[in-house]
Amino acid sequence: MKIKNICCIGAGYVGGPTMSIIANKNPNIRVNVVDMNPEKINAWNSKNLQDLPVFEPGLSKVVKEARGRNLFFSTDVNYHIENSEMIFISVNTPTKISGEGKGYAADLKYVEACAKQIAEISKTDKIIVEKSTVPVRTSEKIKQILRLHNSKVDFQILSNPEFLAEGTAMRDLEIPDRVLIGGENTPKGKKAIQSLVDIYLSWVPEKNILTTNLWSSELSKLTANAFLAQRISSINSLSELCEETGADIEEVSKAIGMDSRIGSSFLKTSVGFGGSCFQKDILNLVYIARSLGFEKVANYWEQVIIINKHQRDRFSKKIADSIKQNNLENKVLLLGWAFKKNTNDSRESAAIYVANNLLKKNIAIEIYDPKVNEDQIKFDLSNLNTNFDESLVNYVTDPFSNISDYNTIAIMTEWDIFKNFKWEEIYKKIKKPAFIFDGRNILNIEMIKKIGFNYCGLGRK
Ligand code: NAD
Ligand code: UGA
């Protein structure tokens, strides 16, 4: 079937950019992105492209081209469900905070609500595409909900997980390593798969489109994230070893990564991975394994999260210990709040946890991020700890407005501007002695030490 109308439920970090690309590459398909959050939809419709709710390099250009032509953002979920042949579910699937599986399992309430709404509204056959990251066999649950609430129309379910990374989303969507589509091995299932394949074929080479059964597709998404995060925890665990042995983690990482069987990606030491997905997806995997009685498998993957927390905690401790041992002012300037550069997303950012650890020790913090605003930072801190001491926190728009008050700077996000600062100038103004904690290993150690800073990176001296 040739698709003419697509509806995507969820205008977030995935729904917005993916649908913008689909619309951009398929001018003959009308793509309606809907969300229950009117503020978000208003922001997607804002005249000023700087005000889009998602910051992604290259996104505004694509939105500018397609919006109003065949790309639309709306809060009228029911209308667009009814008027589409294909519906993507791209809503959030956070870790459950209550009930069975609390703290581990993915909360599917938003996905399930979408399925129910689709069933109640639909009067014509639909292809439902699971875009959200979900536990293996979720499509079975979606199917049951659809059937329970509507036995009159035919629903075909596909799994089409998204592999984009924030900050490089547009490039990842434009030239994906692979597009994964899972579906049923029935005549109708195969037709549905082909309809989605045809949409991607507008710009993705056929060899990069992989079709599988539903369960393989769902499980591959969870495990791809788990593998990536596992590499980061592996290198982070070695950074601690390097600090004690005199090995340099950057050299070790390079040496390991040059083995073509291992590869160099995702071997960059950091203060810990963040983002809305790695932790949630691994916890979900742990939950699934544990539910099936595979305790050793569950413990294996859980260790990736344990090391990540350990890395954040030991980085915080280094800062607190330095303040104490050197009798410094109880204040730190935190550079960066986003979980990685080139995004305004701060979900699960390591900065939140480090800030919280410092606040617990009564250390004052001043925070600067080029894309994350004060309200978001406040939300993040209170979300982690409702009783955080606001009097110890200062949000700054100019990172150096109070620089002469500080002995200690910590780099939390690898934004290019931090790398490119004129550190000699900063050194002239900052209180002495001046300490820099490089949570991303982005600075040139020789240069920074030559200027006069006391440097503390991860896994290198
Ligand atoms: P998000 O929170 O940015 O966006 C989800 C949106 O869905 C929100 O705007 C919310 O208002 C909306 N929504 C929820 N329930 C709704 C409903 N019933 N009706 C209408 N709108 C509804 O989330 P995200 O980061 O875009 O992630 C979405 C899914 O994609 C998650 O499962 C995530 O794991 C997965 N994923 C995310 C990324 C990423 O980089 N963020 C990458 C790959 C996969
Ligand atoms: C990650 C995956 O890379 C995507 O393929 C996936 O689609 C997405 O999760 C998802 O499912 O949400 P994302 O979290 O946006 O993408 O960004 P990454 O580039 O993977 O970075 C995640 C975190 O790991 C960041 O905090 C980053 O700074 C950190 N990181 C990454 C390291 O500490 N070291 C590295 O070598 C790489």
Position 400 confidence tier, pLDDT thresholds 50, 70, 90: confident
By alpha-carbon position, which residue is closest to atom 37 of ligand 2? 266
Residue with tokens 């910590």: 410
Helix (H/G/I), strand (E/B), else coil: 75: coil
Q: Can you name the residues that pair with 32 across neighbouring β-strands? A: 7, 72
Q: Which ligand is nearest to the CA of 17?
A: 1
- 378 classed as catalytic: no
Position 241 confidence tier, pLDDT thresholds 50, 70, 90: very high
- Asked whether 114 lines ligand 1 (CB < 6 A), one says yes
pLDDT value of residue 337: 98
- Which ligand 1 atom lies nearest to the CA of residue 169? 40
By alpha-carbon position, which residue is closest to atom 6 of ligand 2? 163
If phi > 0 it is left, if psi is from -120 to 50 it is alpha, else beta; for residue 346 that is alpha
Give the predicted TM-score (pTM) of the model: 0.96
By alpha-carbon position, which residue is closest to atom 37 of ligand 1? 14
Compute, in angstroms, the gap from residue 370 CA to the centroid of ligand 2: 19
**Average pLDDT over every residue of 230-238:** 98
- Asked whether 341 lines ligand 2 (CB < 6 A), one says no
Peptide bond into 38 cis (omega under 30): no
- Reported as a single tens digit per residue, the pLDDT across 178-214 is 999 999 999 999 999 999 999 999 999 999 999 999 9
pLDDT value of residue 1: 78
- Which ligand 2 atom lies nearest to the CA of residue 236? 33
pLDDT value of residue 453: 98
Q: How far apart are CA 434 and CA 429, in angstroms?
A: 10
Position 88 confidence tier, pLDDT thresholds 50, 70, 90: very high
**Average pLDDT over every residue of 114-120:** 98
- Asked whether 92 lines ligand 1 (CB < 6 A), one says yes
pLDDT value of residue 143: 97
Compute, in angstroms, the gap from residue 118 CA to the centroid of ligand 2: 32
Position 6 confidence tier, pLDDT thresholds 50, 70, 90: very high
Instruction: Count CA atoms closer than 13 A to 365's CA, side-chain side.
Output: 31
Q: Minimum mean pLDDT among 124-138, 389-403, 404-418: which range?
A: 389-403
Chain Cα centroid distance, residue 386 = 23
Q: How far apart are CA 198 and CA 206, in angstroms?
A: 10
Of 25, 126, 131, 221, catalytic: 221
Q: Lay out the sheet containing 364-368: strands in order across.
A: 393-395, 364-368, 331-335, 408-411, 435-438, 454-456
pLDDT value of residue 125: 97
**Mutual orientation of helices 214-245 and 295-325 as an angle, nearest 10°?**
40
Q: How far apart are CA 435 and CA 427, in angstroms?
A: 10
- Reported as a single tens digit per residue, the pLDDT across 56-72 is 999 999 999 999 999 99
pLDDT value of residue 290: 97
Compute, in angstroms, the gap from residue 165 CA to the centroid of ligand 2: 6
- Asked whether 15 lines ligand 1 (CB < 6 A), one says yes
pLDDT at 402 over 90: no
284-303 burial, b at 16+ Cβ within 10 Å, e below that, comes to bbbbbbbeeeeeeebeebbb
- Asked whether 106 lines ligand 1 (CB < 6 A), one says no
Q: How far apart are CA 350 and CA 339, in angstroms?
A: 7
Closest CA to 432 of 461, 459, 404: 404
- Reported as a single tens digit per residue, the pLDDT across 276-323 is 999 999 999 999 999 999 999 999 999 999 999 999 999 999 999 999
The pLDDT > 90 percentage for the chain reads 98
Q: Return all residues near 170 (Cβ < 8 A) that are at least 6 apart.
A: 17, 21, 56, 57, 58, 59, 62
- Asked whether 11 lines ligand 1 (CB < 6 A), one says yes
- 162 classed as catalytic: yes
pLDDT value of residue 401: 84
Q: Return all residues near 328 (Cβ < 8 A) that are at least 6 apart.
A: 322, 407, 408, 433, 435
Residue with tokens 């919006």: 67
